[in-house]
Structures are given as C-alpha cells and as structure tokens.
Amino acid sequence: MKAKAAVLYEKGENNQLRLETVTVREPREKEVIVRMKSSGICGTEIAYQYDHWGIDYKMPVVLGHEGAGIVEKVGSAVTKVKVGDHVSIGPPCCGECFYCRQNMTWLCEGSMDYRYLSGGYDFYGTAPMTNEKGEDVFQLFEQGSLSEYTCIYEPMLTVIPKDVDISLCGPLSCGMRTGAGAVYAELKPSPGQWIVITGAGAVGLSAMWMANAMGAKTLILDVIDSRLDFAKELGATAVLNSAGMGEEEITKSIRKIVGEKGADGAVEGVGLSHVIKGIMRALKWGAHCAQVAVGTNVSFGSYMIDCNDSRHVDFVRYGNVNNDEIIPMLIDLYKEGKFPFDKLYTFYDLDNVVDALDDAKHNRSKKVVVLMNQNK
C-alpha cells in the first residue's frame, strides 16, 4: 500500500525531513493497517528531529506518535478491532510481557528498554515500510503516525466511539493522556483539594481538566501571562506567573494561594530543578508530586532538613494508566464539556508538515495537529 509520509533521514540542527511516498507492507497476524486521520505533534518529535536527547535510533524513520484513524485492514489473528473501527493509537506494548500481563502496558518491557521506542524494527523484527529506493523505513515508537497509512501492532489500539470527530482524537494518547492520567491514576485528589500544575501547555491543561472533573481546585504556574490567561479561561481556579522566581519564592507564593499547610498534590511539567524543589516544598507533608517532564539534576542538602517529611516524587510514564482505560474517559469528559481539548488545536495538512513541526518547535501553537485523508 502506497502512502505519503514525513520521513526523517538525518537528525540534528541540519536534519533532513522529506515528504515522500513509502510502501506500507501488508499486515501480519496481529497487525492492523490504519488509515490515519490526525496526528498531534509534541516535544518528543522535536527532540528526536533535532537530537536533543542524544538517543540513537534507526533511520530513515517516519515521525509521529500521537495518532488516530480508521482501521483499513486486519491480520488473521486480530480480535480487538475490525475494519471500519475508529481507533486511538497508544504507546508501543507487546501485550505479552510481565507488565502487560499485569495490565500495566505503559511499562511494557520492550518499550522500557527502548526496543520499541527507537529500535526501529516492528514486533516481527522487520521494517514496516520501504521507500521508493526499496530501503527499509522505520516508524517512530512503532507508530509513525505522520503517514497516510501505518502498520500497527494490535495491543496498541483503542477503539473510540464514532460520534466524536476522529480528526480531533490523535493527541489524546500521549501528552493529554499523560497529564490527565497523572491526576486520575497517581494523585487521585478528593473534592476540594488543591492540585498545583506547572506549565500551561497541553499536558498541564489536561491535568487541570482532570483535576477539575474530580472536584479538585487547580493552581497553574507558567511564565507567560497569555498562557495563564488562557488557563484561567479554560477552568483554572487560580494562576501564578513564576517568571524570575527562585525556589523559595515559588514555595511561598504557592502557599499564599493554597494555604499555609500547602497543596495536596502537584503535576510538575517543566523539569527545572528550582521549580521541582519549589513545588515539592509547597506540598503538604506526605503529599505526592507527579513528575511528567524530563527533569534536570535535583539535589537535596540534608535528609533531616530537606527530605524527612514523607513527600513523594512519582516519576510518571504515560500517565501511569492504560490507553484502553483513559481514552474513553477523556472522550466522555469531552462530550460533557469538561475536557475541551479541541480549543488548543491549530490544524495543518500533511503537505505542510515541515511548517507544522517548526511551529511546534517555536511554540507558535498551543497544540499542533496534522490532518490526513480528510476526503477518504
């Protein structure tokens, strides 16, 4: 099957990204061909494109890992989905390892050791695509959702209802799932409790919406007034511009809003040392901070002074929740008007994917979404 795809041939500041035709091979027993309708762009795409994280991975590779589409073909052993189903594509998971059998697919062993995230080869040990020269082409995170068609391993798929526009659903399975899941599965706030959230981007706002839906109060920190104004418009109980603040000032400013005993939980989405420590010290004793950002080095000077308070830093992966559990929940909240994720979107056609990635890199949009197959 032929497909137009965004293929990365060289990473780094002088990266080579080409929009070209690839051939997607036929599905094997537990594989599914998905006709893509939308793909979100998040910081991971940019990090891989510009080699910000220094992770080695197979190239050429089709970028994209926040996809949704319609099932086009299924392999002979597929039972979870059928042709015509609308699906969200989650992170890679084998469905068979120790963690997958415990229903903790976000900890799939092949994903944790990066075989499925950057190893390139699919679950059958081969490349899922070829280019026009016949060379192997790989899929980022076993997904490669910036392609008109892609070959997906069955456990990665979640069926979503057809009464929601499938073109809106791509971004749900990564950043939004991470923010919302961190609150739902990790912090589990009670009504009236205060949840502090750093960063008013898609992850932070998703955490805010979930906390609001669970009856909590939300304080959003950011360094840009327009982002904070937007967060307030979308439901934040309170906002705080932390630009120029050090660790101690962050702590004091949060406590001034939430009360002297501190907040009941936090979602930390910035990853800066002074922010992480400022947030931690603004929590009640014994409270949890869900760390969802790639963090810098954090050190504490004294156990008795700095750490002897039962506060927790929980390193959260994909919201510590399964796609099959969280995605239907987010869609239900969307229908109820409690999770208006589409208000964040700026849409691009696949033909303009270079512009889409550049706008995402420079934060010109709250959430970049690339559309495909809109007439199919």
The domain defined by 179-318 folds into Rossmann fold (3.40.50)
CATH superfamily for domain 2-173+340-371: Medium-chain alcohol dehydrogenases, catalytic domain (3.90.180.10)
Query: In which band, very low, low, confident or very high, does the pLDDT at 119 lie, cut at 50, 70 and 90?
Result: confident
Torsion of CA 110, 114, 120, 124, to 10 degrees: -10
| Least trusted range by pLDDT, from 214-223, 291-300, 343-352, 366-375 | 291-300
113 against 76, higher pLDDT: 76
Query: In which band, very low, low, confident or very high, does the pLDDT at 302 lie, cut at 50, 70 and 90?
Result: confident
**Domain edges within the chain:** 2-173+340-371, 179-318
pLDDT at residue 376 is higher than 90: no
| Helices (H), ranges, 129-224 | 175-181, 202-213
- Model-level pTM greater than 0.85? yes
Distance, C-alpha 82 to centroid of its chain: 25
User: 149-202, pLDDT tens digit by residue?
Assistant: 999 999 999 999 999 999 999 999 999 999 999 999 999 999 999 999 999 999
Query: How much is the average pLDDT of 234-251?
Result: 97
Do residues 321 and 290 make contact, with C-beta atoms less than 8 angstroms apart?
no
2-173+340-371 shares its CATH topology with 179-318? no
CA distance 95 to 323: 13
Q: Is 47 left (phi over 0), alpha (psi -120 to 50) or beta?
A: alpha
Measured CA to CA in angstroms, residue 255 lies from 192, 207, 252, 264 at distances of 16, 20, 5, 11
The secondary structure element, H or E, covering residue 87 is: strand 86-89
